[in-house]
Amino acid sequence: MNDQAIIEFQDFSFQYFSQAEPTLIDINLKIYPGEKILIVGPSGSGKSTLGRCLNGLIPFSYTGVINGSLKINGIETANLDIFSLSKLIGTVLQDSDGQFVGLTVGEDIAFALENDNVDHAEMNTRVTDVARMVDMQNWLSSSPYELSGGQKQRTSLAGVLIDDVPILLFDEPLANLDPATGKTAIEIIDDIHNNSQKTVIIIEHRLEDVLHRNIDRVIVIDEGRIIADMDADTLVSSKILKDTGIREPLYVTALKYAGINVTSKMHPGHITSLNLEGSQAVLRSWYKAISPDSQHNTNPSILMMQNISFSYDGVRHVLEDINIDIRKGEMVSIIGKNGAGKSTLSKLLCGFEKEDQGSIHFMGDDIKGLTIKERAEIIGLVMQNPNQMISKPMIFDEIALGLRLRHVPEDEIAPRVDKVLKICGLAPFKDWPISALSYGQKKRVTIASILVLDPKILILDEPTAGQDFQHYTEIMKFLVEINKGGVTVILITHDMHLMLEYTPRSIVLSGGRKIADTLASVVLTDSRVIEEANLKETSLFKLAQLAGIEDGTGFVQGFIDYEKGMRS
Amino acid sequence: MNSKMKLFSYNFVDSPIHRLSGLTKLICFMLLTSTVMYSYDIRIILVVMLFSLFILKISRIKFSQIRLMIIYVLVFLITNAVISFFFSPEQGVNIYKTRHVIGNLYGSLKLTWEQLFYQFTKFFKYASVVPLGIIFLLTTNPSEFASSLNGVKVNFKAAYAFALTLRYFPDIQRNYHDISQAQQARGLDLSHKAKPMDRFKYALLIIIPLIFSTLDRIEMISNAMDLRGFAKSNTRTWYTYRKLQPRDYAAIAVSLLIFFVAIGISVFINHSRFYNPFI
């Protein structure tokens, strides 16, 4: 390793002009050439701001006050513009869909070369070469709509690699990917790091997923300050993760539940490096002592789909012969990779599209004849992005909208909105403008605006996407409350933690067919389902193997039951 | 999702029209629309119209993609025709200098052959532009078009902005569709049952979220472009650049021919922009 740092922050602080407090405070950090660094921190901790300082978006696009020094390659960044910086640091942004500038893969990869006035013939060769590095050479003329999330991300990566920059910066690379694609993304980043000796910086809050491959150092940021700078083993065995609200790896949680003192000597940073020497017996006896959760939902059926088939073009079936029976008061997850038919299923339930075959029953009655508006009073749909739903400036009006459109008298609207505001913990904000709310609060407003119609079933599309552990927990606890209040909840998700922790039952779709409908613990340990649905085996299963527990699925279920017991 | 073919936007299909350069298509589009805008000769207009319908056919655009557009245009043209009749029912007579009354409509309002012929001509004059515009928008690769514009010295930033607009048009249509469904579930009635005033108010309920989610998108895309050096120098090269091929010159030649023949007919045969069958 070189003595000369490639990135060096010295007493660095930054405050956005639009904010009252500085976002980054007294940052001192050295990163050396060829290192692979992970920066973690909860939402709003300043980790993304740190990334923006590195790649020059601060101060180029976001202005504010900078104090102290930041040197890259020995040059003070204050003396560099965003274009010179882009030759030193290549940034892969969080949303690979949003940063797809070109109309095709080839064009997108070529974007930086076009701006550099590289001539046409050379551009073609270089694009083909780089596309080969990320295995996208057969997709050069494809448009973003034909690509999967992982392919879009690889395209973004190629667009950055084409410049042969010494530093690669990944801003939340896992945010929009399903578990299997996320795993592959981490492997691709690692391979590039190993083959090129580039310096790699990953900003992400999903610690366990990044630790799938080796990381030299993990930097923890909280409230604008660096509070830890250590290797993964030390970090995972410390209290720092718990204190900052970052989710620790699941196998570490299990070890702690079992009363095992996790130390850095056990190399707990990665499940592959974990050494359980001497602790296996403790883990086994903990597992035996867990009393299984025997509560079974025996309520009558609330929603039944029978032999549902659907196709947009009359040729390819998007859904084929789907049979699902959901009981009153259940909380289930529907999972599957992109294009498996999850969103289409929710569209059929809401009446946006009409099934070609089969029938949908609500409490035994066929709902074929109901309009979208009538169905909304039974089945509410909350979209993923709150900005796609919010259409009024004030919270009260936004929530009241559904009732006003139904010509409910104003004196009846007020108490109903108040009641929902209270359930959603929004009562103190009743007269606030929506623009003053955080993302999580906006999400609550959208849920409230659906709940006010008093639906019996609530469908949420990726309710926790992009949320850190703390906000994730808040949203999920809130949904559990609503569920306890009698609303049946259906969650469409990629999030394996969410399945494990909150939905006892998971329905898995693949290629328009239902391939599993069982306990989350079974789904996440069944290699066939895992592969077909782009999931990832949970690390708990690996832990069970390490401890010599034969029934891995039983161990995962035991963990779920134990955690449920802890929560209630 | 396969619904993409239904969108009113560029799709790559391998047709002779798609293979023409964007610049060629722009020039031909300008020439042919100028032709029908200049001439009030129904023969020329119908020839251009038939020609553009033929081009529409070989460019393999699906009717489902353009159905909505066609309906809007027809409604507009018919409304326009009715209103202009009531405002100046004698326009045809003024132009053609003869008066053949077909019948009495109401009071002193009379329908004449001249007026009918004039309005018929005008209807097709406008209608013939529609297939041309559709062909241009739906068969032109936005980026390739931007590179051709830049090739004829249009500022590359302006050209790129235009290409990006076309590029994100289908995204915005999709987003609109999603938002509209979610709002309908909240009780929004966009059907014909709602009063026009209500429908306008309701449309706002979709457009506002659309604007906000689009603004998010714009911030992201402009960051992505900055980070990869967009506009760092005053020129740029284009991955999608294509040299004009013989077929491009041929297409331009055909359009030029139609343009000059139309002007020639007006100047030397009709001695006016109008063709007068009444004398």
| Together in a domain, A43 and A138 | yes
* CB A433 within 8 Å of CB A394: yes
In chain B, residues with a C-beta closer than 8 Å to the C-beta of A57 are: 223, 226-227
The answer to whether position A1 is within a domain reads no
Which of B183, B206, B228 shows the shortest C-beta gap to A86? B228
Contact B209 A390 (CB under 8 A): yes
Contact B142 A114 (CB under 8 A): no
Which residue on chain A is closest to B183 by alpha carbon? Answer: A389
Residue A442 CA to residue B11 CA, distance in Å, equals 36
Q: In angstroms, what CA-CA distances link A18 with A159, A365, B226? A: 32, 54, 21
Angle, in degrees to the nearest 10, between helices A439-451 and A410-423: 130
Is the pLDDT assigned to residue B3 strictly greater than 50? no
Paired sense of beta strands A217-222 and A225-230, if any: antiparallel
| Together in a domain, A266 and A336 | no
Residue B6, pLDDT score: 52
| Together in a domain, A535 and A407 | yes
Ordered alpha helix ranges (H), chain B: 16-19, 22-38, 42-58, 63-87, 91-96, 113-127, 129-139, 142-151, 156-185, 196-227, 246-264
| Together in a domain, A373 and A411 | yes
Residue B4, pLDDT score: 41
Residue B182 CA to residue A488 CA, distance in Å, equals 19
| Together in a domain, A394 and A521 | yes
In chain A, residues with a C-beta closer than 8 Å to the C-beta of B240 are: 103, 107
- Structurally, chain A folds into a number of domains equal to 3
Q: In angstroms, what CA-CA distances link B263 with A60, A319, B130? A: 54, 58, 21
B57's CB contacts (< 8 A; 6+ apart) are: none
Locus of tokens 């606030």: A432
Is the pLDDT assigned to residue A554 strictly greater than 80? yes
| Together in a domain, A88 and A215 | yes
Contact B186 A120 (CB under 8 A): no
Please identify among residues 8-37 of chain B the ones whose CB lies closer than 8 Å to any CB of chain A. Answer: 12
pLDDT band with cut points at 50, 70 and 90 for residue A175: confident
Residue A495 CA to residue A222 CA, distance in Å, equals 24
As given in the structure block, the two tokens for residue A445 are 């407003």
Which of B3, B12, B222 shows the shortest C-beta gap to A312? B3
Q: What is the number of alpha carbons within 13 Å of residue B38 lying toward its C-beta?
A: 20
In chain A, residues with a C-beta closer than 8 Å to the C-beta of B167 are: 103
Whether the bond between A42 and the residue before it is cis, its omega within 30 degrees of 0, is: no
In chain B, residues with a C-beta closer than 8 Å to the C-beta of A352 are: 181, 184-185
Tell me the torsion sign for CA atoms B121, B123, B126, B127.
Answer: negative
| Together in a domain, A408 and A554 | no
| Together in a domain, A347 and A324 | yes
The ranges assigned to domains in chain B are 1-141+243-279, 142-239
- Secondary structure E strands in A379-487: 379-382, 457-461
When pLDDT is averaged across residues A181-194 and rounded to a whole number, the result is 94
Locus of tokens 């284009």: B238
Listing DSSP states for A458-482 in one string gives EEEESTTTT--HHHHHHHHHHHHHH
Contacts of residues A524-532 at CB distance under 8 Å and 24 or more positions apart, as own/partner, are A524/A496, A524/A499, A524/A500, A524/A556, A525/A552, A525/A553, A525/A556, A526/A553, A530/A180, A531/A180, A532/A508
Contact A107 B240 (CB under 8 A): yes
| Together in a domain, A457 and A496 | yes
pLDDT tens digits, one per residue of B113-134: 999 999 999 999 999 999 999 9
Is residue A362 classed as helix, strand or coil in its secondary structure?
A: strand
Contact B217 A388 (CB under 8 A): no
Q: In angstroms, what CA-CA distances link A251 with A159, A184, A248, A270, A468? A: 36, 21, 8, 10, 19
Residue A227 CA to residue A210 CA, distance in Å, equals 19
How close, in Å, is residue A99 to chain B by CA atoms? 5
Residue B132 CA to residue B124 CA, distance in Å, equals 13
Residue from A500, A491, A495 nearest A447 by CA: A491
What is the DSSP code (8-state) at residue A329? T
Residue B5, pLDDT score: 45
- Mean pLDDT score across all residues of chain A: 91
* A179, containing H or E segment: helix A179-196
As given in the structure block, the two tokens for residue A473 are 């927990």
Measured in whole angstroms, the distance separating CA A409 from the mean position of its chain's CA atoms is 41
pLDDT band with cut points at 50, 70 and 90 for residue B189: confident
Contact A57 B142 (CB under 8 A): no
Please identify among residues 133-192 of chain B the ones whose CB lies closer than 8 Å to any CB of chain A. Answer: 141-143, 163-164, 167, 170, 175, 178-179, 181-189
Contacts of residues A395-399 at CB distance under 8 Å and 24 or more positions apart, as own/partner, are A395/A421, A395/A426, A395/A429, A395/A430, A395/A431, A395/A432, A395/A433, A395/A434, A395/A437, A395/A445, A396/A421, A396/A430, A396/A431, A398/A434, A398/A445, A398/A449, A399/A445, A399/A448, A399/A449, A399/A452
Which of A117, A405, A450 shows the shortest C-beta gap to B233? A117
In chain B, residues with a C-beta closer than 8 Å to the C-beta of A160 are: 228
Residue B184 CA to residue B84 CA, distance in Å, equals 37
CB pairs under 8 A between A and B: 160
pLDDT band with cut points at 50, 70 and 90 for residue B2: very low
- Radius of gyration, CA atoms only, chain A: 25
pLDDT tens digits, one per residue of A26-59: 999 999 999 999 999 988 899 999 999 999 999 8
The answer to whether position A296 is within a domain reads no
Residue B218, pLDDT score: 87
Residue A218 CA to residue A216 CA, distance in Å, equals 7
**Domain that includes residue A283, residue range:** 249-289+547-568
Say which CATH number the domain at A123 has: 3.40.50.300
Which residue on chain B is closest to A127 by alpha carbon? Answer: B239
The answer to whether position A75 is within a domain reads yes
* CB A16 within 8 Å of CB A23: yes
pLDDT band with cut points at 50, 70 and 90 for residue A1: very low
pLDDT tens digits, one per residue of A94-144: 877 777 888 889 999 999 999 999 999 999 999 999 999 999 999 998 888
| Together in a domain, A498 and A386 | yes
